[in-house]
A and B are shown apart, each in its own frame.
Chain A
Amino acid sequence: MISRENIRRVTLLSPSLTMLFVMIGLPLAILAWISLLQRGVTSGVDWSAPLGLDNYIRLLWEEDFDGTIFFHTRYLEVVLRSVLLAAGTTFFCIIVGVPAALWMASLPKRGRDVIVLLITIPFWTSLLVRNYAWLIILRDDGSVNWVVNALIPGDDVGLLYTNTAVFIGLVYSFLPFMILPIYAVFEKFDWSLLEAAYDLGAGRARAFRKVMLPIAMPGITAGAMLVFIPCLGAFITPALLGGGKTLMIGNLIQLQFGPSRNWPFGASISIVLLALMMLFLMGLALWKNRRSQ
C-alpha cells in the first residue's frame, strides 16, 4: 500500500540505507564472492578465475610438492587461539564486571553518575592509544617489569609479545562493555527484593546467588555479546602486544591484504570470522531461549 506516510518514510530512510548498502552491504557481498576466486598475478584478485572453495580448503589442507594432500593446523591454531582468548576475556570480564556493577549500583546517585562517566570514557578514546599505553608498561624496561623486579629480584618478566599480554590488552579494551550493561540492569533493580531475601533468612552468598545473579543475567548476556564479538575480530591488541606466535584472526586477515597480498584467501578468512560470530550469536540466543522457558 502506497500512502503519503510510506513515501515520506522511504524518502527519509533511503539516503542512510543507501549509504550503508553501498559502503558496507555491497563490499561484504563482493568479499564473499572473491573468497571463491583466486589470487591474481599482478593485482589482488584474478576476476576471471572459476568459482571454487579452494581458499576454504586451504585453511585446513595443503598440497605437498608431490601432490599429496595433508591436513595442517597452522590456521586452525590461530582460529582456536582467537576463540579461546575471546572466551577467556569474556569470562574474566563477567567475573570482574558483576561485582563492579553491583558496587556502582549501591552508590548514592551523585557518585554513581561520576563512576558511570569514568567507565564510559575509555569507550570513546582511541583503542590504539590505550593499547599503546600497555605496550609501554609491559616492555622489559616498563613499569610492570620494574615493580616485579623490585619485589622479586630476577630476570625480566618478558610479558610483552605473549598470549598473556594479548589477554590483558583485550580485557583492558573491552571491560567497560561488560560493566555497563550489567550496571544498567542493577540500576533498575527493586532493592526491596534483596531485603526480602535477607528477611527470609538468606545469607549474603545465598542472596547473591539466588537473587542478584538471575537479575544480572540479561546484562551478562548483553555484555558477553559486546565483549566476545569485538575480541574475536580484534586486530590492534594482538598487533601491538602480541608477537608472531600470538596471531589472531584479525592479524591473519591483515597479513593477506598487506604483505602476502592474497586477497581471496584473506576474504575467506573474513567470511570464517563472520560465520564464527553468527554461530556465537545463535548459540547465545538459543541459550537465552532455553533459560527463559
Chain B
Amino acid sequence: MNLRRMPFTREIGWLVLAFLYLPVFILVLYSFNGNRTATVWTEFSVKWYARTFHNPSIQVAAWNSIILAITASFGSTVLALLAAMAARHFFKGRSAVEATLNAPLILPEIVIAVATLILVVSVGVELGLMSMIPAHVAFCIPFAYLPIRARIQGMDAGMEEAAMDLYCNRFSTFRRVTLPLLWPGVLAGFTLAFVTSLDLFLVSFFLAGPGSTTLPVYIYSAIKAGISPEINAISTIMLVVSIALVMVSFAFGRMRR
C-alpha cells in the first residue's frame, strides 16, 4: 500500500486533466469538421485550414504577430539579461528591483492596456505596431527574466574568475565565458517571451491601429462576429505553435549546466 496516497486524490487528479484538455480537444476536433455549424460533426476535412491560409486578413495578422513577437522577445531578453547580470549577487534593494521587474506579472492586463493607451495617445504617438512594440517589450520582461535568473543563480563563478586570472577583461569574460554558460537560460527566456507576446491580447487590442491587427485581436473580433470552424483552425495553429515553443523552452531549461 502506498501510504502517500490519499483516497479520491487520483480520481480528482485525472478529472482535472480531463477538465483541462477535453475542451481544447473538442476545439481541435471541430477544426477538422467539414460542416459549417462548428458543432455538428459531419466528415473529416482540412478545408478550414486551407481557407485560413488563404485569408488575407489572417495573413496580415499573422505577419504582424510574428514581427511583434520577434522584436518584443529580442528586446525583453536583452533587457532581462542585463538585469539578471546586475541582480546576480545580493545587494541592498535587490528584492525591490526584482519586484519591479515582475510587476507585469501581477498587474491586471486590462489596467496595463488602458494605461498604455492613455500614454500613447497623450504623447501623440500613432496607434499601431510602433506603439505596440515597446508595450510588448515591457510586458515580456519578467517572462524572459525568470529563466535567465534561474540559470545565473546556479552558476559557478569559478570559470569566470579563471578567465579574469588569465587576463581576460570584463567584456571578453562575459562574451567568452559567462554568455556561453548562460545561453540555455537566455534561449529559454527568449522563447517564453516570444510565446507571451504571441498570445498577448488586451495590450494589442487597445493599441492596434488600422492594419496592425494581431492574431489574438483577429480571433477576438471574429468570435464577436459569429463563431466558425475557421476560428477553430486558426486557434489550433496558435495552440500548436505555443505548445511546441514551450517544449523547446523547457528543453533549453533542462540543458546541463
A125 and B100 within 8 A (CB): no
B115 touches A103 (CB 8 A): no
Answer whether residue B167 sits at the interface, using C-beta atoms and an 8 A cutoff. Answer: no
- B225 in the interface (beta carbon within 8 A): no
Q: Tell whether A30 pairs with B115 under 8 Å between CB atoms, given A99-B6, A133-B24.
A: yes
Report if A126-B110 is in contact (Cβ < 8 Å); known contacts: A100-B9, A194-B3.
no
A126 engages B138 (CB within 8 Å): no
- CA of A119 to CA of B79 in the docked complex: distance in angstroms? 29
Please determine whether B8 and A273 come into contact, CB atoms closer than 8 angstroms: no
Given the known A-B contacts A17-B100, A127-B201, A132-B231, are A273 and B108 also in contact in the complex, defined by CB atoms under 8 Å? Answer: yes
B82 touches A23 (CB 8 A): no
Decide: A128 and B199 in contact? CB cutoff 8 A: yes
Are A31 and B9 neighbours in the complex by a CB distance under 8 Å?
no
User: Given A100-B13, A129-B235, do A28 and B115 touch, yes or no (CB 8 Å)?
Assistant: yes
B126-140 with Cβ < 8 A to chain A: 134-135, 137-139
B residues in contact with A142, CB < 8 Å: 39
Contacts of B52 in A (CB 8 A): none
Q: Given contacts A19-B138, A126-B216, is CB(A253)–CB(B86) below 8 Å?
A: no
- Determine if B20 and A119 form an interchain contact, defined as CB atoms under 8 angstroms apart: yes
Tell me the smallest distance from the CB of B36 to a CB of chain A, in Å.
Answer: 12
Partner of B5, one of A8, A106, A266: A106
B198 proximity list for chain A (CB < 8 A): 126
Task: Tell me whether A257 and B199 are in contact (CB under 8 A).
Answer: no
Alpha-carbon distance between A122 and B246 when the two chains are bound, in angstroms? 10
In the complex, which residue of chain A has the Cβ closest to the Cβ of B115? Answer: A27
| Interface contact A16-B141, CB-CB below 8 Å | yes
Contact with B along A1-45 (1 / 0, CB 8 A): 000000011101101110110111011101100100000000111
Q: Which residue of B lies closest to A106 (CB)?
A: B4
Answer yes or no: B192 CB below 8 A from chain A CBs.
Answer: yes
Report the bound CA distance from A30 to B115 in whole Å: 7
Is B34's beta carbon under 8 Å from chain A? no
Given contacts A20-B101, A20-B141, contact A126 B238 (CB under 8 A): yes
- How far, in whole Å, are A130 and B27 apart by their CA atoms in the complex? 9
Q: Give the residues from 107 to 151 in chain B that come closer than 8 angstroms, CB to CB, to chain A.
A: 107-112, 114-119, 121-122, 134-135, 137-139, 141, 145
- Contact assessment for A263 and B118 in the assembled complex, using a CB-CB cutoff below 8 Å: yes
A175 touches B16 (CB 8 A): yes
Q: When chains A and B are docked, how far (Å) is the Cα of A236 from the Cα of B219?
A: 12
> Majority SS of interface residues in chain B?
helix
Q: Which residue of B lies closest to A47 (CB)?
A: B122
Q: Which A residues between 171 and 208 are near B, CB-CB below 8 angstroms?
A: 172, 175-176, 179, 191, 194-195, 198, 204, 208
Which residues of chain B from 220 to 241 have a CB within 8 Å of any chain A CB? 220, 223, 227, 231-232, 235, 238-239
The answer to the question of A284 belonging to the interface, with a C-beta cut-off of 8 Å to chain B, is no
Specify which of A17, A117, A208, A253 is in contact with B114 (CB 8 Å cutoff).
A253
> Which of the segments A55-63, A72-80, A227-235 contacts the partner chain?
A227-235
Residues in A with CB closer than 8 Å to B243 are: 121, 124-125
B71 within 8 A of A: no
B108 touches A229 (CB 8 A): yes
A126 to B139, CA, bound (A): 15
Asked whether B7 is an interface residue with its Cβ less than 8 Å from the other chain, the reply is yes
Contact A31 B114 (CB under 8 A): yes
Q: Does A141 contact B (CB under 8 A)?
A: yes
List of A residues within 8 angstroms of B30 by Cβ: 136
Counting CB contacts under 8 A, is A270 at the interface?
Answer: yes
Is A149 on the interface with B (CB-CB < 8 A)? Answer: no
Contact A141 B100 (CB under 8 A): no
**A102 with B108: CB separation less than 8 A:** no
Q: Which among A27, A143, A175, A233 is the interface contact of B26 at CB below 8 angstroms?
A: A143
Q: Can you list 25 A-B contacts with CB-CB less than 8 angstroms, sorted by A residue number? A: A13-B87, A17-B97, A19-B138, A23-B116, A24-B112, A24-B115, A30-B118, A47-B122, A96-B16, A102-B6, A118-B17, A121-B246, A126-B238, A129-B219, A132-B235, A135-B223, A136-B27, A176-B20, A191-B4, A195-B3, A198-B3, A204-B6, A208-B6, A263-B114, A270-B110
Given contacts A126-B239, A172-B19, A204-B7, 11 further A-B contacts (CB under 8 A): A9-B91, A12-B83, A15-B83, A45-B118, A102-B9, A124-B243, A125-B199, A125-B239, A132-B223, A137-B23, A139-B227
Chain A: residues with CB nearer than 8 A to chain B?
A: 8-10, 12-13, 15-17, 19-20, 22-24, 26-28, 30-31, 34, 43-45, 47, 96, 99-100, 102-106, 115, 117-122, 124-130, 132-137, 139, 141-143, 172, 175-176, 179, 191, 194-195, 198, 204, 208, 212, 229-230, 232-233, 235-236, 240, 250, 253-254, 257, 263, 266-267, 270, 273-274, 277
